[in-house]
Structure 1
Amino acid sequence: MISTQAWADAQRLWDFQQMGHEPRPCSVAIGLGSHDLGVADTTAELYHRGMAPVIVFTGATSRTTRERMPRGEAEHYRERAIELGVPTSAIIVEPDARNTGENLRFSRALLEARGIPVSSALLVSKPYEERRAYATACEVWPEVEWVSASTPMCFAQYVDSLQDVHLVVDMLVGAQQRLEVYPRQGFMIEQPIPDDVAVAYERLKAAGFTSRLVAEEAR
């Protein structure tokens, strides 16, 4: 359990991460690798709705996915999407990326190598990282019109899905920190941060939700 104040602050960060984009048909859907197979589920659903003719799943492994996804995040996403009825021919696997910037750069290179023109893209991420993913994509590939997407669920539902509220809040705090740090390092475009979001973030840090923070000089 966490305090009522911490829950309210985490809810504020969650709400800020949501971009509020309405999915629409795009040139491609890019599913960003992570521990969350819900990204693959949502990308497959968008494909079946006719929102993209081709999917790129991108991601190697990380310390949080190495055991659960030994063949790599992108490959496990591909297998999941095929289980959900997406044809193999519609899926491109990018197996090497280890951060969001690489997800976008490596996916771009694969699409260009295959001669697939991209003017717009559905960017499918975990719900608490929509804004972070969007800001990175706009920096790395500014020529594309980005439409953010994630599994539609509220903060409480996501906590229930992971059964670890402290981990979810830690991840929210980490995502928020990157919105502040990474623009200064050239990794993403700047996002105006409302005062109440900044206050919520500082309060959660002071309360000890810091396991997903990065050193400001690190990528």
Structure 2
Amino acid sequence: MITARDWADARILWEFQRMGHAPRPCSVGVGLGSHDLGVAEVMAGLYRRGLVPLVVFTGATSPTTRGRMPRGEAVHYRERALELGVPGDVVLVEPRARNTGENIRFSRELLAERGTPVDSVLLVSKPYEERRAYATARKLWPGVEFVCASAPMNLPAYADAIGDPRLVLDMLVGAVQRLMVYPAQGFMIELSVPAPVAAAYERLRDRGFTRRLVPTA
């Protein structure tokens, strides 16, 4: 059961993860694979606004997405973007990445192989992973400016749209934990986690929202 206290703590993590960037024109848009087709929908909207001339969707499959995206996250994202009017010739698919670090590294390699100059990236992720995506990208793709974007939804609406509120809270807890432990492992830059956010994270972790935690021992 998810309690009112759990929801209150989850909102603290949700708001912390949002970077608050204003979308602006960038060299390329990179959509990070996940269970959430909303990433492709946000990217399609940004393309239609003229903010990116080229799109990369990146992602293989995971235990969470294998059933709903059997052809791979990036492939399903591309199909959704094309349904929304994005021309196929401006959408690249990177089908191998299985984590955020690989999303960034493989997208960077794909664009380098094509000879595409990149000085800025419009980075589209799930709403509760903006900060994690930003910290990872800054570590693995230096010299590039990143502008984060995601679906403009509040937490209750997002959880309803996904249809699995507990999964969303588990993912929120996992995203904040990675901000705390991954910098020391060289996976992302260090970003400070304010005390109220850390306290909310600890309460949710102790309440059992642990399915997306990474081992730390």
Residue 37 of structure 2: aligned partner: 37
How far residue 3 of structure 1 moved from its aligned partner, in angstroms, is 1.7
Is 2:54 the counterpart of 1:50?
Answer: no
Residue 108 of structure 2: aligned partner: 108
Q: Could you tell me how far apart the structure 1 residues matched to 2:97 and 2:108 are?
A: 12
SS in 2 for 1:23: coil
Residue 98 of structure 2: aligned partner: 98
How far residue 69 of structure 1 moved from its aligned partner, in angstroms, is 1.0
Residue 151 of structure 1: aligned partner: 151
Q: Could you tell me how far apart the structure 2 residues matched to 1:191 and 1:73 are?
A: 28
Misfit runs of 4+, over 4 Å: none
Q: Could you tell me how far apart the structure 2 residues matched to 1:8 and 1:48 are?
A: 35
How far residue 216 of structure 1 moved from its aligned partner, in angstroms, is 2.0
Letter matched to residue 19 of structure 1: M
Letter matched to residue 11 of structure 1: R
TM-score, with structure 2 as normaliser: 0.98
TM-score, with structure 1 as normaliser: 0.97
How far residue 162 of structure 1 moved from its aligned partner, in angstroms, is 2.0
Is 2:86 the counterpart of 1:86?
Answer: yes
SS in 2 for 1:97: coil
SS in 2 for 1:122: strand
Q: Could you tell me how far apart the structure 2 residues matched to 1:112 and 1:14 are?
A: 33
Contact 2:36 2:162 in 1 (8 A): no
Residue 76 of structure 2: aligned partner: 76
SS in 2 for 1:148: strand
- Higher mean Cα deviation, 112-121 or 160-169? 160-169
SS in 2 for 1:131: helix
1:93-112 alpha-carbon deviations (Å, 9 max, x no partner): 10111111111111111111
SS in 2 for 1:74: helix
How far residue 165 of structure 1 moved from its aligned partner, in angstroms, is 2.1
SS in 2 for 1:123: strand
Query: In the TM superposition, what are the counterparts of 1:154-193 in structure 2 within 5 Å?
Result: 154-193=154-193
Q: Could you tell me how far apart the structure 2 residues matched to 1:167 and 1:106 are?
A: 27
How far residue 201 of structure 1 moved from its aligned partner, in angstroms, is 0.5
Letter matched to residue 145 of structure 2: E
Query: In the TM superposition, what are the counterparts of 1:133-148 in structure 2 within 5 Å?
Result: 133-148=133-148
SS in 1 for 2:121: strand
Unaligned residue ranges in structure 1 (runs of 5+): none
- Percent identity between the two aligned chains: 67
Residue 120 of structure 2: aligned partner: 120
Q: Could you tell me how far apart the structure 2 residues matched to 1:4 and 1:93 are?
A: 40
SS in 2 for 1:47: helix
SS in 1 for 2:182: helix
Residue 205 of structure 1: aligned partner: 205
Q: CA RMSD in A?
A: 0.9
Unaligned residue ranges in structure 2 (runs of 5+): none
Q: Could you tell me how far apart the structure 1 residues matched to 2:50 and 2:168 are?
A: 32
